[in-house]
Structure 1
Amino acid sequence: MFTVMAIKIEPRVKKAPEVQEILTRYGCIIHTRIGLHEATKDSCSNSGLVLLNLLSDEKEEIKNLHEELEAMDGVTAKILEM
């Protein structure tokens, strides 16, 4: 089974440091992390997307991570299990 979490962050620059602190606390259940945002030479998007591949057998930790992220204003987290 694969467990993927998508995290939308907006405003990215303001909220990213707090999201990073949370992700650091849960680092042992994060197998892969990909961060995406629109960027050009002249501008940088105010919203971002982080994709996490999580250790599927850590259900309680995944639930806690999800709840902490969802409690933040400007942050939305969704879980996909396949």
Structure 2
Amino acid sequence: MADGIYVVGILVEERASRGPEVQEVLTRYGSKILCRTGIPDPSKKRGIITVTMQADAPDVDKFKGDLQDIAGVRAQSLRLADAIYNCPA
């Protein structure tokens, strides 16, 4: 399946305790991540992370599933376009 450009929004409840697990997942998919931004929710108990990635749909679904396996983490994605460039596997 062809790579596409996806934006994945991640909401992390109780970010202080769940952040390390989320970071582990982000690191595992680092070769597919083009950009990552994060901000704490004003309440300081939640974190909001936006990831732009170049991947195929099954990899994005696996990424979201790995994140959502962590209690208190939600992830949604949006496919924006075809890949910017082709990356070797």
How high is the sequence identity, in percent, across the aligned residues? 30
Find the partner of 2:9 among 6, 16, 20: 6
Aligned residues: 77
Q: TM-score, normalised by structure 1?
A: 0.84
Confirm or deny: 8 A CA contact 2:41 2:48 kept in the other structure: no
Structure showing the higher strand proportion among its residues: 2
Gaps of 5+ in 1: none
Residue of structure 1 aligned with 2:23, choices 14, 20, 28: 20
Q: Which segments of 5 or more consecutive residues in structure 2 lack a partner in the other structure?
A: 81-89
Which residue among 67, 76, 79 is the counterpart of 2:77? 79
Alignment partners' CA distance in 2, 1:38 and 1:69: 18
Map 1:1-82 → 2, pairs under 5 A: 2-38=5-41, 45-55=44-54, 57-82=55-80
Paired AA for residue 79 in structure 1:
S
Q: TM-score, normalised by structure 2?
A: 0.78
C-alpha RMSD of matched pairs (Å)? 1.5
Q: Partner amino acid for 2:47?
A: G
